[in-house]
Structure 1
C-alpha cells in the first residue's frame, strides 16, 4: 500500500503547473523562456502576476493532495512526509518532462501547511525575519523551510518524520544550484 502511495505521489509531482499555465494563458512553453524553469517565479516574470499565483497555488496543491490522500488512508505522519518527499521529487525530476522540472518549494509548502496549519505562521514569521536580514526571496525562503523542519522535530518527536522532512528540504536546496558563496559575499558587501 505504501509503495503505491509513493508511486502516486511521484506521478502527481509530474504535473507541472508552470507548463500548464504558460500554455493556457499564452500558448508558450515556459521551459523555453526566461530561466527555463517551470516554477512560479519564472511564470510570474514571463506571464505576469496571475501566472505566478496560479502556478504557485497549483504546485502547492500537489503537496496538499498527497497529505489529504495520506490522511484519508489513515497513514502516519511519517509515511505522509515521505509521500511529500516523493511528490517534490516528481516535481523536481519529472519523468514526463525528461527529469527537468521545478524547484519544489511551493509543493513542500502546500504539503506542510496541509499537514499542520501551524506551519503557515512558522513559514510567514521565519520568512519575514530572514527577509529583513537578507532581502530577496531565495535565502529567506530556504531558511523559512528549514525552520519548518526544525519545528517539526519538536511537534512530531519522530526520527523518520524529521529525517524525511530534512531530506526533502535538502533536495529542494540542492535543486537550486545557487552559488551560495556569491550570495553571501554580495550580502557582506552591502
Structure 2
C-alpha cells in the first residue's frame, strides 16, 4: 500500500513547477507558459529573468527528484521502485495534470533524482558532457548524450537488467520531451 501512495505522490510532486510559482512571485500575475518559449523550465526562466531565477528554478525542480528518492529510501523501497517513482516524478513534471499537461522537459528533476539515487553518476554526467559539448556546441545534445550513458553505468554498478530497462525508459521519455528541439537543431546542421 505504501508503494502505491509513493507512486501517486511521486507523480504529483512532479506537478510542482518551480518556474510557475517563481514567476507568480516575481510578477504577481505572470504565467511562464505565455513567456519566452512557454516552457516552465530553468533555461526559459533564466533567459527571461536572469541567472538567479535559473538557479532557483533548476534547484527547485531538482529537489523534486531528490525528495522522491529520499522518501523512497525512508520507506525502504527497492532500487527498481525508487527509479519507477523518479520516472513518475519526471512524467509529472513533463505532463502535469494541474497545468493541463503543459510542463517542462524533466531534466532538472531527473538530475536531482538520479544523483540522489547514485551520487557517482554526477561525475559520469559531467565527463560525458565535457566530451560531447565541444563537438555538438549544444547543451541539449551534450546533456542528453550524458544521460544515455546512465542506464549502462547503473546496470553495471547494480548488476541489474531491470534497472537498465527502467532507466532506459526514463531516458527515452526525456528525449521525447526534447524531440521538437532536437529536430530544430538537426535542421540547422
Q: 1:132 aligns with which of 123, 134, 150?
A: 134
Unaligned runs of 5+ in 2: none
Q: 1:96 aligns with which of 95, 98, 104?
A: 98
Q: Is the 8 A contact 2:125 2:147 kept in 1?
A: yes
Matches within 5 A, 1:43-58: 43-58=45-60
The TM-score with structure 2 as length reference comes to 0.94
Q: Is the 8 A contact 1:119 1:148 kept in 2?
A: yes
**CA offsets per residue over residues 63-103 of structure 1, 9 Å max, x none?**
00000001111111111000000000100000100011000
* Distance in structure 1 (CA, Å) of the matches to 2:41 and 2:169: 20
Q: Is the 8 A contact 1:13 1:86 kept in 2?
A: yes
Matches within 5 A, 1:30-179: 30-178=32-180
Which secondary structure state, in structure 2, belongs to the residue aligned with residue 110 of structure 1?
Answer: helix
Q: 4+ runs of 1 displaced by more than 3 Å?
A: 179-182, 184-187
Q: Which residue in the other structure is 2:23 paired with? A: 22
State the aligned residue count.
187
Q: Is the 8 A contact 2:141 2:182 kept in 1?
A: no
The TM-score with structure 1 as length reference comes to 0.94
* Distance in structure 1 (CA, Å) of the matches to 2:133 and 2:181: 19
Unaligned runs of 5+ in 1: none
Q: CA RMSD in A?
A: 1.3
* Distance in structure 2 (CA, Å) of the matches to 1:10 and 1:84: 8
**CA offsets per residue over residues 132-153 of structure 1, 9 Å max, x none?**
1101211001001111222112
Q: Is the 8 A contact 1:22 1:51 kept in 2?
A: no
